[in-house]
Structure 1
């Protein structure tokens, strides 16, 4: 069963340990105003059988943030990244105003497999420069392909077992936060 890796009793200091153990965990980087969308993405990944690190569930991070302790907040973020094999950077117009997303990308750039997920309505030219070199997930079709690759399971099997949903399905939980399928002319 997949989980938010923060809850795991085992914490690692480096990605090499994660990789050697075959652990797949996705660090979800997002601007706080996009927390609801980030939670939907985190839940979708967990349902598909992938561990995530999602800051909303990190009690230490919340306490350190409330105590206005930037060093401890930074250490919590670094620990989350160090326990992740992948980083998924959620991009929306809010991301341009984030103070933490650029730090997370910079810290995780050489430590994780970096991907950018475009939230609803982000056009091709709308990505900040510092993440344009990453692999881009533009729509629900793309995230399903990403999940299939990370889990090494065929999409059809994931659809049949309700681990993920087609971009065409009305009950897909990501319809409200991601585009279904980007038009070729987009």
Structure 2
């Protein structure tokens, strides 16, 4: 079963509410990133959803997009906090551009304060990791991401089976792996 992007208004509409809440046992990963990495993060989000895990990727958060256009920091922080409230886990996707982000540290700090498990996923060729991320679990490459997804999926037997099946199908293919251009295989 494919995971959902909980920021997508079509998901919310399907549940007959503006924003619905997940059950405590459901997994949802909030993807924190800088705008320069959007294309890579969309691919990562798709991969995680294909593993059966819900995500919160803000590209569909219409209120946040409007707040950004209006340069409204109050509405931006409220949108980020709402997105993080859906999440059970937070992954910060890091590239060399992350050190210039003003919002990634806020998302990580709010996630830490809310006691969400934090992880850092480094994109290909990333050398610099902001020091505030050294407190998180490090995910370096596709193999490490697969191990992380299986580990957090252990909270649900059904989700574990879906994630394990998806990851096994994508591990040793003769074809390019969907994340080859954005992650190292192992590090």
Same fold (TM over 0.5): yes
In structure 2, the residue corresponding to 1:26 is in which secondary structure? strand
User: Are 1:78 and 1:107, in contact at CA under 8 Å, matched by a contact in 2?
Assistant: yes
User: Equivalent residues in 2 for 1:24-103 (5 A)?
Assistant: 24-103=27-106
Distance in structure 1 (CA, Å) of the matches to 2:110 and 2:24:
22
Q: Which residue of 2 aligns with 1:15?
A: none
Moved over 3 A (4+): 7-12, 167-170
| TM-score, structure 2 as length reference | 0.84
Is the alpha carbon distance of 1:167 and 1:75 closer, same or farther for their aligned partners in structure 2, counting shifts above 3 Å? farther
Distance in structure 2 (CA, Å) of the matches to 1:180 and 1:58:
31
User: Are 1:140 and 1:167, in contact at CA under 8 Å, matched by a contact in 2?
Assistant: no
Distance in structure 1 (CA, Å) of the matches to 2:164 and 2:104:
34
Residue 137 of structure 1 pairs with residue 139 of structure 2: yes
> How big is each residue's C-alpha offset from its partner over 1:137-169, in whole Å with a ceiling of 9 and x where there is no partner?
001000011111122326753345x4xx21765
CA RMSD of superposed structures (Å): 1.9
Distance in structure 2 (CA, Å) of the matches to 1:81 and 1:121:
28
Distance in structure 1 (CA, Å) of the matches to 2:186 and 2:71:
41
| TM-score, structure 1 as length reference | 0.84
Unmatched runs of 5 consecutive residues or more in structure 2: 155-159
> Which residue of 86, 105, 119 maps to 1:115?
119
Aligned residues: 171
> Which residue of 171, 175, 178 maps to 1:173?
178
Unmatched runs of 5 consecutive residues or more in structure 1: 13-17
Is the alpha carbon distance of 1:94 and 1:169 closer, same or farther for their aligned partners in structure 2, counting shifts above 3 Å? farther
